Amino acid sequence: MAQHDEDPGTAAARLTGRPVAAVRARSAGLAEATLADGRAVMVKRGEGPGAAAAEAAGLRWLAAAGAVAVPGVLGRDERWLVTELVAVGRPGAEAAIRFGQDLAALHAAGAGGFGAAPPDGPRDAWIGTAPMRNEPGGDWPHWYAEHRVLPYLRTAVDRGTLRPGEAAVVERVCERLPELAGPPEPPARLHGDLWNGNVLWGADGRVRLIDPAAHGGHRETDLAMLRLFGCPYLDLVLKGYQEMAPLAAGWAERVGVHQLFPLLVHTALFGRGYAEQTLETSRTIAGM
């Protein structure tokens, strides 16, 4: 059977080398499987070329920091990824504080540069269902504009989600990024797609992160994404973070700057509702 025709159970058996006893589909391309030895695993079909390789490399890079917890990679090829299944529980205050501390330690582990891919990961990666190129750059404001904001702005305009005149508002923010970015920061090791759906509150009381779009970036970007899409006990997550690695003065006023990237990704993928939010955020940043 060609790999592109495989079902999740067949892929799990091939990549783990263990027979599969049961499979339960979660959604298209995502399933839970129980191996014959009793282990529960997650089986995921990549969104596009290189997606499984990029996600596996990201998980390993995050794990190598010895900070945040992530599910272990049990097998992967160019199309499929098999990881440990996380037993989930309920969000809690103690877990939130530890998550903030762990996230600070992850960021402090650093990266080879802004836009740096995980060491064994491809440059052409993904954020959700959108392509994301890990192109190294110099200082953060120029790299962020060129490789994180403007590519998705162009896609949104090409797809008609944003009108060219509206795009000018975002472009003006990009021009002002050197003055808006705050004090220079070293490249942080980012999860890169840190919305609440990728934060699993483990049954053992510890948070685990899944589905990374890992790369070297600004640590405030991960935190801004947590705020954008909501995270339980976010105030305690930030408390734990600040205990380990205080944020630079003015960080709260820069949240919108860092939210432009995920907002534009969602605008390009999901339409006009996110376009309105992107424009409102851009006007607020620019003081318009």
25: in domain? no
5: in domain? no
Nearest 5°: CA angle at 50, between 161 and 136?
Answer: 75
265: in domain? yes
Q: What is the mean pLDDT of residues 170-181?
A: 96
For 241-246, the CB contacts below 8 A with 24+ separation are 241/100, 241/101, 241/103, 241/104, 242/100, 243/97, 243/100, 243/101, 243/104, 244/100, 244/101, 244/104, 244/105, 244/108, 245/104, 245/107, 245/108, 245/219
Q: How far apart are CA 260 and CA 173, in angstroms?
A: 10
Asked if residue 53 has pLDDT above 60, the reply is yes
**Whole-number average pLDDT of the chain:** 95
134: in domain? yes
Q: What is the mean pLDDT of residues 96-104?
A: 98
Amino acid at 287: G
Asked if residue 5 has pLDDT above 80, the reply is no
Structural domain for 227, as ranges: 87-288
Cβ-based burial of 141 (10 A; exposed 0-12, middle 13-18, buried ≥19): buried
3: in domain? no
Q: According to the model, what pLDDT value does residue 87 have?
A: 96
pTM: 0.95
116: in domain? yes
229: in domain? yes
CATH number for the domain spanning 282: value is 3.90.1200.10
* Per-residue confidence band for 2, with pLDDT thresholds at 50, 70 and 90: very low
75: in domain? no
Domain count, the chain: 1
Q: How far apart are CA 73 and CA 50, in angstroms?
A: 16
Query: CA 262, 266, 272, 278: dihedral to nearest 10 degrees?
Result: 0
Cβ atoms 133, 139 nearer than 8 A: no
What would the two tokens of residue 41 be?
């695993």
Q: According to the model, what pLDDT value does residue 271 have?
A: 87
